[in-house]
Amino acid sequence: MKLNKLLTRKGILFLVIFSVLVFIGDKINFSRLVGAENQFFTLFQFFGPVAGAFLGPVVGVLAVLIAEVSSYLVAGKTLVWSYPLMINILRLLPMLFAAWYFGTKKNKLSFFVPVAAILLFIAHPVGRQVWFFALFWTIPIVIKLLPKKYGDKLFLRSLGATFTAHAVGGAMWNYIVPMTPQAWTALIPVVIYERLLFAGGIAISFIALSTLLDRLDSKTKSEYINIDKKYILFRHDA
């Protein structure tokens, strides 16, 4: 999708709705991030990647970036370089790649990102001791390699997106936040629990936003926003 379509009426409408959701979602903590004080996964994890499907991967990533930076500024946080700012940037980047994954079809970047994350993780002295943790990041690769009728299933796309975010965040976290091999191993059941919940949330939010956007402007159809009609609830059209 061309960048100028973000500036259409429906593109701006989506961006406003998405930005409001991001601002609210960032305020609602879900679970604590291990290794850093006062850092949490938030409700944003449950819907962040969906922008890639509505606006296309490139513009979807831009929408996530705009929404997150706006939320950051509205919250009154400083942009002066510091450790807290570095952590927040670290938390933002994974969602950008997740939005790309969720919005794109078979694309080389979809494979390159988790592969690069695995290599970076096991290249680290600590990561090398818990190499098996990085096996989580083969999930988005496998999903993209599945036949289209399976790989395009909403829950699997959502699962691939949230594990893409996890791959980017995990690889970077290993280099920035000191953690022991035991801490990484202890995270395995937590990761399974959280990522299944995140994937379910992404799928549900995608259906909800598809329905809402279709209701807000049914006359425009999907000229500027990619709306998959099979995910719209309570359709009245034949």
* 40-42/29-32 β-pairing: antiparallel
Q: Which domain holds residue 39?
A: 3-231
- Sequence-distant (≥ 6) Cβ neighbours of residue 119 within 8 angstroms: none
pLDDT confidence bin for 88, thresholds 50/70/90: low
- Is residue 53 assigned to a domain? yes
Q: What is the model's pLDDT at position 222?
A: 45
Q: Is residue 197 in some structural domain?
A: yes
Is residue 45 one of the residues assigned to a domain? yes
Measure the CA–CA gap between 230 and 41, rounded to whole angstroms.
30
Alpha-carbon span 176 to 230, nearest angstrom: 42
Q: Which of 11, 168, 4 is nearest to 99 (CA)?
A: 168
**Residue 42, strand partner residues:** 29
Residue 237 in this model has a pLDDT that exceeds 90: no
How confident is the model over 185-209, as a mean pLDDT?
Answer: 92
pLDDT of 32 reads 66
| Each residue's pLDDT tens digit, 122-149 | 999 999 999 999 999 999 999 988 888 8
First to last CA, the chain: 27
Distance CA 197, CA 126 (A): 27
Task: With cut-offs at 50, 70 and 90, classify the pLDDT of residue 77.
Answer: low
Using alpha carbons, select from 139, 144, 168 the residue that is nearest to residue 48: 168
Q: What pLDDT sits at residue 238?
A: 44
Nearest to 49 by CA among 36, 32, 67, 31: 67
Residue 42 phi, psi dihedral angles, 5° rounding:
-120, 180
Instruction: Tell me the range of 37-41, 96-100, 216-220 where mean pLDDT is highest.
Output: 96-100
Question: Lowest-pLDDT range, 13-17, 74-78, 89-93?
Answer: 74-78
The pLDDT value recorded for residue 160 is 95
Q: Looking at the domain assignment, is residue 237 inside a domain?
A: no
Q: Identify whether 92 is part of a domain.
A: yes
Percent of the chain with pLDDT over 70: 76
The C-alpha atoms of residue 236 and residue 47 are separated, in whole angstroms, by 26
Q: How far apart are CA 90 and CA 102, in angstroms?
A: 19
Is residue 104 in a domain? Answer: yes
For residues 86-112, average pLDDT: 79
Q: Which pLDDT score, from 0 to 100, does residue 141 have?
A: 93
For 5-50, how does the pLDDT look when each residue is reduced to its tens digit (9 = 90+)? 556 666 677 777 777 888 787 777 766 666 455 566 677 888 888 8
Q: Residue 196: its pLDDT value, please?
A: 94
Q: Is residue 236 part of a domain?
A: no
Asked whether residue 40 is assigned to any structural domain, the reply reads yes
b/e code 38-60 from CB counts within 10 Å (16+ = b): ebebbbbbbbbbbbbbbbbbbbb
Using alpha carbons, list the distances in angstroms from residue 152 to 16, 41, 62, 73, 226: 27, 26, 23, 36, 15
Go through the chain and tell me how many residues it has: 238
* Number of domains present in the structure of the chain: 1
Higher pLDDT, 114 or 63: 114
